Chain A
């Protein structure tokens, strides 16, 4: 019981200068990130210039096409159209998916009743179901929202369910032994303990939601980003088509990374302290 005074400096020592070490490493990784982007752009430019495929634009042409579309407002308008079903669909999947997942994890009867639905949804090839959705819900917003939901909901729900099932039972009985009630057990133990895996499911769900919205816009009626891609392909504006595709890919990556950042920032104090 006497070792804490000696152990304390051992812990505090390296941590005092930790910020400078970490910021230096941060700069180094930023350098490598930029370098890898530069190499990628250079390879793209080179491949475009070799002319191996008539539809493959150079990197510079793609970038200039991108700015052209931003300047004439077509890019912004397309994103506004695309974001509508995406945001509605993801919000729905998030709320329903997490609640259903947690409920399935906590209760066997809910699991028995609900899990098969999500398993079927996850296994079904979505593109094959989209024509059916169009018959029922038409070609409007509802169909596109449904496409987003059908792709993102099962991943979010099944991951939340597994996350709850994987909560260490000893943590739950610890809460019980200190006389925590069922509510405290769920909110103080189960959900925080399940949250890392839930967030992993959320990231996958958001990525799936992007697939869903683009798929819907390509297969149902061309609107937003799907319209831009279809239109520029049909008039052989390949640089514009590539710019649109690249922008939605980048946007999806940024959205998923932002989610990861929010998770670390708000929900993982133990990760923060180790940095």
Chain B
């Protein structure tokens, strides 16, 4: 119903196959133990330079899929290709942003942000220069010498983001990055994410359970259904380009898409 409504305002972009996919997921299944099917034959490609959300009710395997793409989990069947090469483990072209930030409490903001570069063997002065740049980029300039416990939740996730940006990966894999920060910070964060996407020209894979967040930030939303985890729907929110965040939250296409997704998810929640 919403698509019909949406047409009044803007032609929804038809769901097309990515022309220039950076990540291809082919026939991926994941079975935990003997019988818990977290993912069942997932086939999907992610377009270079886009922000794609994985959205679904809890237990639909969205985080599992993200971790398989990251190389942190091995699929039971199928394979993932990144830039045409099969994934066997984590790689330099992918960087992960963790739901619980995963910051080292004993290390300063600088050392945390430079950690990925350190693992790659980048010399100290060079990695600190890069880390400093991205700490500033995420709005934490001046906090380099602070420790995680001196920062708010939102600021901590910014450090996690700076760490992922600093390794200059092509793809940022974000596992519910804003779920542990408060609502106001979250909105600010989402707006920053827009700007970051323009500046950094990276591909984002974004796991979220928030419908509003997915519609707000995504070029494409992949909806998963639970037990077993399958792709249930693919939605390209046809939100006008260049709309400012405050207008967007009142935009009819935005509201309709949110409603459409909610109707799709509802049956799994009840």
Write the residues of chain A forming the contact surface with B, with a CB cutoff of 8 angstroms: 1-5, 8, 11, 168, 170-171, 173-180, 184, 188-189, 192-193, 195, 267-270, 273-274
> Is there contact, CB below 8 Å, between A170 and B102?
yes
A176 CB → nearest B CB, Å:
6
> Is there contact, CB below 8 Å, between A274 and B102?
no
> Is there contact, CB below 8 Å, between A177 and B149?
no
Q: Which of B90, B95, B107, B145 has the most CB of A within 10 A?
A: B90
- Chain B residues near A267: list those with CB within 8 A: 106
* Shortest Cβ distance from A170 into B: residue: B102
CA distance A51 to B77 in the complex (A): 83
B73-97, CB < 8 A from A:
89-92, 94-96
- Chain A residues near B105: list those with CB within 8 A: 193, 270
CA distance A264 to B13 in the complex (A): 59
The segment out of B22-30, B133-141, B228-236 that lies at the interface is: B133-141
* Shortest Cβ distance from B145 into A: residue: A273
Task: Tell me whether chain A's interface is mostly helix, strand or loop, or mixed.
Answer: helix
CA distance A177 to B172 in the complex (A): 11
Is the CB of B100 closer than 8 A to any CB of chain A?
yes
What are 5 A-B contacts defined by CB distance under 8 Å? Answer: A174-B98, A176-B90, A179-B89, A193-B106, A269-B106
Write the residues of chain B forming the contact surface with A, with a CB cutoff of 8 angstroms: 70-72, 89-92, 94-96, 98-100, 102, 104-108, 115-116, 118-120, 138-143, 145-150, 163, 167, 188, 192, 195
- Chain A residues near B106: list those with CB within 8 A: 192-193, 195, 267-270
Task: State whether A270 and B149 are in contact (beta carbons under 8 Å apart), knowing that A174-B96, A177-B72, A179-B92 are contacts in the complex.
Answer: yes
Q: Which of A1, A8, A274 has the most CB of B within 10 A?
A: A1
Task: State whether A1 and B192 are in contact (beta carbons under 8 Å apart), knowing that A177-B70, A189-B104, A192-B106 are contacts in the complex.
Answer: yes
Determine which of B108, B115, B139, B195 lies in contact with A178 in the assembled complex, contact meaning CB atoms within 8 Å.
Answer: B115
CA distance A170 to B96 in the complex (A): 11
> Is there contact, CB below 8 Å, between A11 and B150?
yes
